Amino acid sequence: MVEYRIDRRSGVATYLQIVQQTKQALRMGLLEPGDRLPTAREVVESTAINPNTVLKAYRELEREGLVEARRGLGTFVRATLGTGPADSPLRGELTDWARRARAAGLDREDVSALFTSVLKEHFEGDDA
Amino acid sequence: MTRDGIALEADLLGKTYGGRSRGWALRGCGFALPAGRVCALVGPNGAGKSTLLALAAGLLRPTEGTIQAPPREHLAYVAQDKPLHPRLSVADTLRMGRELNPGRWDETAAQRVMADELDPHTLVRDLSGGQRTRVALALALGKRAELLLLDEPMADLDPLARHQLMGLLMADAAEHGTTVVLSSHILTELEGACDHLLLLHGGKIRLDGAVDDLLAAHTLLRGPVADLAPHTVVESRTTGRQLTALIRHEGPIEGPWDTQEPSLEDLLLAHLRTTPEGVPA
């Protein structure tokens, strides 16, 4: 079971915090297929957030195929989330790119800003 | 009675205390609050929040217009000063709740609010403000009402009790679909808990709608000074060559501006800083 922690000052929409924390728990193996997510009642009683926010987050997770709602029983994990194998070609290319960026004199913040702006350009509109 | 799916509805609602010449506490208010929403009723002191709640509870009669709420046995109202009988003990107060609501009373819900925090033999007059709030909320939740009207419910509570009781209110809404209206002049108390907003200012409704819709309809923008038409400018400020504005957008925003969805606080402050006539103060 996961417990959600809502940070009201983060600037990230509350339902997205629940989506992200659930995904994080899936990546870390804290949640596995078959596990039940807390009920909306359980989440709102401990976090004092609006019930619809929890339902919105669960709908989003369901839309992404990560969980499924079973009527009268609760919401259950369907799939795991991998971070991708450490030796995947994409990671290799990114490592090369980071090495070149550093060689070109960019510091950590420059690289991070560049990466974020490219991310933004390519994933605009994908909230989670 | 209210329409299907609507928990509380007002039409051209107005209230004046002691004659029309003395000024209006509320005037021309119209809204329809869908059932199952948790609504923040916000506005500065004197905006008319308590008047609106007392009208909804049926304790005041409108001077003009109408307000439609569920019948009294299906609504619970907790006034700002939490009126309870001072000479009753906590246990007797709760027993009175049980006896006045035969067939409906939910002892579990009431006890969950009490949370073993109070000695049942204590007299109400010896309770602190926060403890009175707890008893008043226990009565309200024990009543299993369809509509909860809570006037500044969190004002006397310490942060821990506030979080706990807000959590219980939300749990009640999650489990029973209760419609909740909470008034406050402190927005941070309500942000996150509410999915609907009614903003009162100077006796008039300035904003009414689902929080997500209201936020999505507005944009915070920053950039060079320029004409913002056709968008509706809620508030704008110019510093040197830079313009900062909160607008209600009409169609896409085209221009060299940095745009951002406002926070609920941005939205409320911008609307409150303008006078009720909609002219920047």
Mark whether B188 and B222 lie in a shared domain. no
Residue A97: how many other CB atoms lie within 10 Å: 13
Whether B129 maps to a domain, the answer reads yes
Mark whether A70 and A93 lie in a shared domain. no
Mark whether B158 and B268 lie in a shared domain. no
- Domain holding B249, by residue range, is 217-273
Residue of B nearest to A52 (CA): B195
Q: CATH number for the domain including A35?
A: 1.10.10.10
Q: What is the pLDDT of residues B216-265, one digit of tens each?
A: 999 999 888 888 888 888 998 888 888 899 999 888 888 788 888 898 88
Is the pLDDT score of A87 beyond 90?
A: no
| Matching residue, tokens 């679909």 | B177
Mark whether B168 and B243 lie in a shared domain. no
- Among B59, B55, B68, B60, which residue's Cα sits nearest to residue B6? B68
Query: Measuring CA to CA, how many Å separate B72 from each of B59, B113, B133, B147?
Result: 10, 22, 21, 10
Q: What is the pLDDT of residue A84?
A: 54
Question: Are the CB atoms for B5 and B64 separated by under 8 Å?
Answer: no
E strands in A23-127? 67-70, 74-77
Domain count, chain A: 2
Q: CATH number for the domain including B104?
A: 3.40.50.300
Residues of chain B neighbouring A49 (CB-CB closer than 8 A): 170, 192-193
Mark whether B118 and B179 lie in a shared domain. yes
**Residue A111 CB contacts under 8 Å (≥ 6 apart), including other chains:** A98, A101, A102
CA distance to partner chain B, nearest, from residue A123 (Å): 17
Q: How far apart are CA B26 and CA A18, in angstroms?
A: 39
Confidence of residue B281 (pLDDT cuts 50, 70, 90): very low
Mark whether B138 and B245 lie in a shared domain. no
Residue of A nearest to B195 (CA): A50
**Interchain CB contact of B174 with A (< 8 Å):** yes
Mark whether B170 and B37 lie in a shared domain. yes
Mark whether A71 and A18 lie in a shared domain. yes
Q: What is the pLDDT of residue B115?
A: 85
Mark whether A35 and A70 lie in a shared domain. yes
Whether A5 maps to a domain, the answer reads no
Whether A24 maps to a domain, the answer reads yes
Q: Dihedral of CA B162/B164/B165/B169: which sign?
A: positive
Q: What is the pLDDT of residue A101?
A: 93
Whether A4 maps to a domain, the answer reads no
Residue of B nearest to A54 (CA): B174
Mark whether B192 and B61 lie in a shared domain. yes
**Cβ within 8 Å of B, A 29-68:** 39-41, 44-54
Contact A46 B167 (CB under 8 A): yes
- Among B3, B13, B7, which residue's Cα sits nearest to residue B200? B13
Closest partner residue to A6 among B38, B188, B192, by Cβ?
Answer: B192
Is the pLDDT score of A13 beyond 50?
A: yes
**Interchain CB contact of B193 with A (< 8 Å):** yes
Closest partner residue to A8 among B173, B174, B191, by Cβ?
Answer: B191
- Based on its alpha-carbon atoms, the radius of gyration of chain B, rounded to whole angstroms, reads 21
Residues of chain A neighbouring B262 (CB-CB closer than 8 A): none
Domain count, chain B: 2
CA distance to partner chain B, nearest, from residue A53 (Å): 8
Mean pLDDT to the nearest integer, B156-183: 93
Residues of chain B neighbouring A54 (CB-CB closer than 8 A): 174
CA distance to partner chain A, nearest, from residue B125 (Å): 29
Mark whether A42 and A62 lie in a shared domain. yes
Whether B50 maps to a domain, the answer reads yes
Mark whether A72 and A46 lie in a shared domain. yes
Which one-letter DSSP state was computed for residue B198? E
Mark whether B181 and B241 lie in a shared domain. no
Calculate the CA B219 to chain-centre distance: 24
Q: How far apart are CA A4 and CA A49, in angstroms?
A: 11
Confidence of residue A85 (pLDDT cuts 50, 70, 90): low
Residue pairs between chains A and B whose CB atoms are closer than 8 Å: 46
Contact B263 A11 (CB under 8 A): yes
Whether A7 maps to a domain, the answer reads no
Mark whether B124 and B254 lie in a shared domain. no
Residues of chain B neighbouring A8 (CB-CB closer than 8 A): 188, 191-192
Q: What is the pLDDT of residue B9?
A: 97
Q: What is the mean pLDDT of chain B?
A: 90
Mark whether A98 and A73 lie in a shared domain. no
**Highest-pLDDT range among A86-95, B198-207, B230-239:** B198-207
CA distance to partner chain A, nearest, from residue B174 (Å): 5
- Domain holding A71, by residue range, is 14-77
Question: Are the CB atoms for B275 and B235 separated by under 8 Å?
Answer: no
Q: How far apart are CA B136 and CA A93, in angstroms?
A: 63
ipTM of the complex: 0.82
Residues of chain A neighbouring B190 (CB-CB closer than 8 A): none
Is the pLDDT score of A76 beyond 80?
A: yes
Whether B281 maps to a domain, the answer reads no
E strands in chain B? 6-15, 26-34, 38-42, 64-68, 75-78, 147-151, 179-184, 196-201, 204-210, 218-224, 232-239, 242-248, 258-260
Is the pLDDT score of A125 beyond 80?
A: no
Whether B210 maps to a domain, the answer reads no
Contact A48 B192 (CB under 8 A): yes
CA distance to partner chain B, nearest, from residue A127 (Å): 13
Mark whether A73 and A26 lie in a shared domain. yes
Whether A68 maps to a domain, the answer reads yes
Confidence of residue B1 (pLDDT cuts 50, 70, 90): low
Mean pLDDT to the nearest integer, A109-128: 81
Residue of B nearest to A46 (CA): B167
**Interchain CB contact of A11 with B (< 8 Å):** yes
Question: Are the CB atoms for B170 and A49 separated by under 8 Å?
Answer: yes
Mark whether A59 and A113 lie in a shared domain. no
Mark whether B224 and B249 lie in a shared domain. yes
